[in-house]
Structure 1
């Protein structure tokens, strides 16, 4: 029986690690890739023989192609979770930081996606989930190169989905919101910042890595076989809450049929 492989980039820490764990629980064999070899080796020690760790640099074509070639079967699932943050005002961000964020977050997603898709196409398809961010949907001050790179991931997802649908490959994107994990640890270490940010989320809490993993695996499942090219924000309603945060006089909350001018 052919084994069902899931490739997870950025599996050495944070959300990527949790996605890999969750996929393993559903019966996938895990190809855990990360530039951080120690991180994926630790994950493999936890998961056992179902997890094969490999040090992979997602922006090195030879590294990516070698990793894909080493798989005994075409992956059923690819999760592009590898990413870095490079925050700061645009007037101050260095060209090196700008280019590094675009290279890892966007070019890495392109390179791994293309290489895995070629292998998937030989067996009739598979599912690819790219991890973006709400920062790629809505601009935020001082997000540096991060927002631009994640916006690129969203458009790349749509492009991949349209080009690869005929190959049987579905491509979707998950855009995490305020997630209490991984790269956000430094933000939520400040209790007051944590309180204020959490208060802006309509569902009243920060998200977790498990929230993201559950969404990824839904999109990869048989329950989502008619979904492709979509960007799903997992943000507790944050992106839809702009009007909810605006002041509004109580007097207009009971407008009746005689007060249409106030609508």
Structure 2
């Protein structure tokens, strides 16, 4: 099962899952979009209209499944960016309802069937915005941070029943919600240059991580959040000015007399 499969990252995850041998239920609140994705993938992908923020909609869709899913990917999400001082309460509620409550409702309902069947895997799509705050991100940052902690909570409660729960936190991904951002070539260039791997991520990068966590290769992994971000969450100091002289501070190479090393970084023999 892949929620939010009607476009962007969700559509790519659904397609990648079918290539790995899964039969996929592609959930989306936009039934036409889900059908278009399923038509492009083939008979192994079935479109289903589901509003993840509506418990009755979720319960009915899960009840209609012929068996417990082996893998659930909670990808459905919305953004309503803007400064907190100006953010309408309705926009806050929408982001929290879809991103966080939707993840809770779908995971809880599916987990009940997984537990009864003896196990399964759940992968929740969080964001690097859930690992580090970003200005003007509205409720998105808070909702994604909530998903990360909810993932840990679910993992602990359901582990004994064989259900693993992990999260993927995409970074600067050139897909889906970010299309409008990267339509500007200069923004694309500047953002790519800030990523340690020197490129934007792709939906396929995210799909690969999801399918790894959902597979038996990650059989001993649960409660974890995997940042798929090209190193950006670890690269804060990359943007800080650094004098070359400090690179020799504390250096005591084998066979070199420390007295002969100038703390400015220039050898005393020069």
Q: TM-score range by the shorter chain?
A: over 0.9
Q: Which stretches of structure 1, 4 residues or longer, exceed 6 Å deviation after superposition?
A: 259-262
Structure 1 position 50, deviation (Å): 1.2
Query: 1:68-89 CA deviation, whole Å, 9 max, x = no partner?
Result: 1111111000000000011110
Say how many residue pairs are matched.
256
Measure, in 2, the Cα distance between the counterparts of 1:261 and 1:203. 31
2:6·2:37 contact (CA, 8 Å) conserved in 1? yes
| Superposition pairs of residues 39-54 of structure 1, within 5 angstroms | 39-54=33-48
In structure 2, distance between residues paired with 1:213 and 1:155: 21
Shift of 1:183: 0.1
The separation in 2 between residues aligned to 1:26 and 1:171, in whole angstroms, is 20
- For residue 169 of structure 2, the aligned residue among 164, 175, 183 is 175
**Cα distance in 1, alignment partners of residues 4 and 103 from structure 2:** 11
TM-score under structure 1 length normalisation: 0.95
CA distance in 2, matches of 1:31, 1:204: 35
Q: Once the 2 structures are TM-superposed, how far is the Cα of residue 261 of structure 1 from its aligned partner?
A: 9.2
Q: Which residue of 2 aligns with 1:94?
A: 88
Specify the alignment match of 2:207 in structure 1: 213
Whole-angstrom CA distance in 1 between matches of 2:242 and 2:39 = 55
1:105 maps onto 2:99 in alignment: yes
Deviation at 1:121, TM superposition (A): 0.9
Which residue is 2:230 aligned to?
Answer: 236
Q: Note the alpha carbon deviations across 1:129-180, whole angstroms, 9 max, x for none.
A: 0000000000011111100000000000000000000111000000000000
2:50 to 45, 53, 56: 56
Choose which of 90, 114, 122 in structure 2 pairs with 1:120.
114
Mapped to 1, the partners of 2:93 and 2:54 lie a distance apart of 15
Deviation string 1:25-82 (CA, Å, 9 cap, x unpaired) is 0111111100010111011212222111110000111110111111111100000000
Q: Name the counterpart of 1:223.
A: 217
Residue matched to 2:192: 198
Aligned partner of 2:147 in structure 1 is 153
TM-score when normalising by structure 2: 0.92
Distance 1:28 1:260 in 2: 62
Distance in 2 (CA, whole Å) between partners of 1:218 and 1:247 is 37
Q: Which runs of 5+ in 2 are unaligned?
A: 253-257, 265-270
Counterpart CA distance in 2 for 1:40 and 1:159 is 30
RMSD: 1.4
Give SS of 2:86's match. Answer: coil
Shift of residue 105 of structure 1? 0.2
